[in-house]
Amino acid sequence: MTDLIRSACLTSYPEIARACGLDPARLLAACGINRRCLEDPDIRLPAGALRKLLERSAEQSGAEDFGLRLAETRTLSVLGPVGLLVQQEPTVRHALRSLIRYIRLHNEALDLRLEERDGEAVVSAEIKVDRPVPVRQGVDLTVGVLYRVLRSLLGPSWRPLVCFAHAAPTRRETHRRFFGGRLSFDQEFNGIVCDSRDLDRAIPASDPMLARYARQHLDALLGRPHASTADKVRELVRLQLGSGRCTVDHVAAQLSVDRRTLHRRLAAENLTYSQIVDAVRVEIVTRSLPSRERRLSTLADMLGFSSLSAFSRWFRTRFRASASTWRGARISGIQGAGENA
């Protein structure tokens, strides 16, 4: 199954891409990423699509350090609630362990590990892929973000050894500026090596009560992991419904399975692909239709219908009324509720 990743990973991509002479909208479309992902950090998209976007951007721009340029713009906030918890833990070791435990809520394709031996701590990062594909830019971005997270807790004077499994870039200026010079390439892992005692440092601004609430929230999310086939199909349908490419074959390919396998897995959850598409359409239309500013033709496009008449037929079947009649009744009900409040 394809792993999903929060669209927060696209933070600052358009600005960096344009600075490198690229057309970000064209590249996003070519990699199958909806532009809505730039507006909402919590949309889930296939991690493979992001990997492809980073590699193509580096190749077409000639910027071998493209992933690291993105990392330079990152703060803890990009991790959402995981970043909030990291800031509230009592020590750097607690913060790192929380990051390792909850990182899959942010990026399902990323594994983080901590190993300590003989007074040395090794934090390694592995990007999971199902076949040999280029991941250099993703690795640079991941290690760069990991470094910035730890440095935000340990201070600007912290100077770990930063390791990469890939070969050194042709030019190392960005890497040296970003990491402070202690770099090693062609290693057995991607990650950071530091003194174990660094992890014992207290985090001055930590808040135990806030940390407890954040942990409870994240544990609840882990308790209903975003891992079922139906959940992943639902996320991809929401993201691509208006693209005109939201077919069962296209979604199956994004999940690295064939059409029959996808149907079989959904059947095991007592669902069909058509039922999921229909449920997402109902969700979107009930949220969007009451707005007077939303034209019905625009809504039909959002829902992936080829024409307004096709949308109208579907709507009447589902809601037993025309879209305009239903909208008028909803608006009148909302206004009435406001007048009686």
Number of independent structural domains in the chain:
2
Same domain, 71 and 218: yes
Q: 211 in a domain, yes or no?
A: yes
Q: How far apart are CA 183 and CA 204, in angstroms?
A: 29
Q: How far apart are CA 156 and CA 241, in angstroms?
A: 45
Which of 193, 223, 253 represents a domain boundary (last residue)? 223
Return the exposure string of 278-291: e unless at least 16 CB atoms fall within 10 Å of the residue's CB, then b. eebbeebbeeebbe
Q: 11 in a domain, yes or no?
A: no
User: In the predicted model, is pLDDT for residue 207 greater than 80?
Assistant: yes
Q: How far apart are CA 138 and CA 5, in angstroms?
A: 12
Looking up tokens 């064209």 gives 26
Same domain, 69 and 218: yes
Q: How far apart are CA 98 and CA 96, in angstroms?
A: 5
**Residue 193: in which H helix or E strand, if any?**
strand 191-195
**Strands 120-127 and 183-184, bridge-based pairing:** unpaired
- Can you give the residue range of the structural domain that contains 117? 64-223
| The two structure tokens encoding residue 315 | 């709507």
Same domain, 235 and 298: yes
Tell me the β-bridge partners of 112. Answer: 125
Q: 158 in a domain, yes or no?
A: yes
DSSP designation for 113:
E
Mean pLDDT of 115-122: 94
Which of 168, 194, 223 represents a domain boundary (last residue)? 223
- For the chain, the average pLDDT equals 87
First-residue to last-residue Cα distance in the chain: 49
Q: 23 in a domain, yes or no?
A: no
What's the confidence (pLDDT) of residue 331?
A: 66
Same domain, 138 and 242: no
Same domain, 214 and 237: no
The model's pTM is: 0.73
Same domain, 74 and 216: yes
Q: 281 in a domain, yes or no?
A: yes
Which of these ranges, 15-24, 97-106, 207-216, 246-255, has the smallest mean pLDDT? 246-255
Q: 151 in a domain, yes or no?
A: yes
Q: 5 in a domain, yes or no?
A: no
Q: Give 22's pLDDT tier (boundaries 50, 70, 90).
A: very high
Q: How far is CA 260 from the centre of its chain?
A: 27
Same domain, 236 and 283: yes
The most confident of 34-38, 273-277, 296-300, by mean pLDDT: 273-277
Q: How far apart are CA 202 and CA 91, in angstroms?
A: 4
**pLDDT more than 90, % of the chain:** 51
Q: 33 in a domain, yes or no?
A: no
Same domain, 218 and 271: no
User: In the predicted model, is pLDDT for residue 204 greater than 80?
Assistant: yes
Helix axis angle, 208-223 to 92-102, nearest 10°: 20
Which of 180, 197, 223 represents a domain boundary (last residue)? 223
Q: How far apart are CA 150 and CA 132, in angstroms?
A: 30
Same domain, 94 and 132: yes
Q: Give 144's pLDDT tier (boundaries 50, 70, 90).
A: very high
Same domain, 186 and 84: yes
Same domain, 170 and 237: no
Same domain, 209 and 233: no
Which of these ranges, 200-204, 237-241, 306-310, has the smallest mean pLDDT? 237-241
Whichever domain contains 332, its CATH number is 1.10.10.60
DSSP designation for 258:
-
